[in-house]
Amino acid sequence: MHRDQSPLRARSAPELVPPLFLDLDQMLDEFTRLPIRAKFRFDPDLAAVITVEFLAGRGPSLIWHIGRELLYCGLTSMSGSGDVRMWPTLSKEQPSSWLLMESEEVEALFELPTAQLAEWLDVTYRIVSAETELDRLNWDGFLMELLDGPGAQSA
């Protein structure tokens, strides 16, 4: 979806699905991996979107909002287009997927383990099904933010 520059944040209400912490590898080039930890959060009120926070060892964390369906489909097949894409690796030993995120400023490729993410996403779908994930969305607020941008005042 996009890098976080908006007020879309997980609410502080009691979490039905605890955050998932995963150890990923950021591919700096075809031979160099940089281990990084990521925190995946699910908000039932914004069920179609998973908040992923890449926890930096030094400096600020980076937050992206990624479609839940994109992540789920990317565990087994090519998923997404544009800024975020995900697809399974060819390795049979330890199932994993590639997650590619692009913006005007940066491109990042991560390898992430699929088993834990698949189990966690299954739990989110038991809480809010794919068919009902947009039912709780505040469409007016969402569209206002989309059209005006974060923090913009309407005329």
Instruction: Tokens 């080039």: give the residue.
Output: 29
Residue 85 burial (CB < 10 Å; 0-12/13-18/19+)? Answer: middle
> In the chain, which ranges are continuous DSSP H helix?
68-74, 114-127, 139-148
* Three-class SS state of 154: coil
- The candidate with the shortest Cα–Cα distance to 26, out of 37, 13, 41, is 37
Q: Tens digit of pLDDT for each residue in 23-47?
A: 999 999 989 999 999 999 999 988 9
pLDDT tier for residue 145 given thresholds of 50, 70 and 90:
low
Tell me what the mean pLDDT of segment 9-25 comes to: 75
> Is the torsion defined by CA of 115, 132, 148, 11 positive or negative?
negative
Q: What is the pLDDT of residue 149?
A: 56
Residue 87 has a CB neighbour count (10 Å cut-off) of 17
pLDDT tier for residue 139 given thresholds of 50, 70 and 90:
confident
- The candidate with the shortest Cα–Cα distance to 50, out of 35, 63, 67, is 67
Q: What is the pLDDT of residue 146?
A: 60
pLDDT tier for residue 153 given thresholds of 50, 70 and 90:
very low
Torsion angle in degrees (nearest 10) through CA of 128, 131, 133, 139: -150
Q: Tens digit of pLDDT for each residue in 74-123?
A: 999 999 988 999 999 987 778 899 999 998 888 999 999 999 999 999 99
Cα of 104 vs its chain's centroid, Å: 18
pTM over 0.85: no
Torsion angle in degrees (nearest 10) through CA of 32, 51, 66, 127: 130
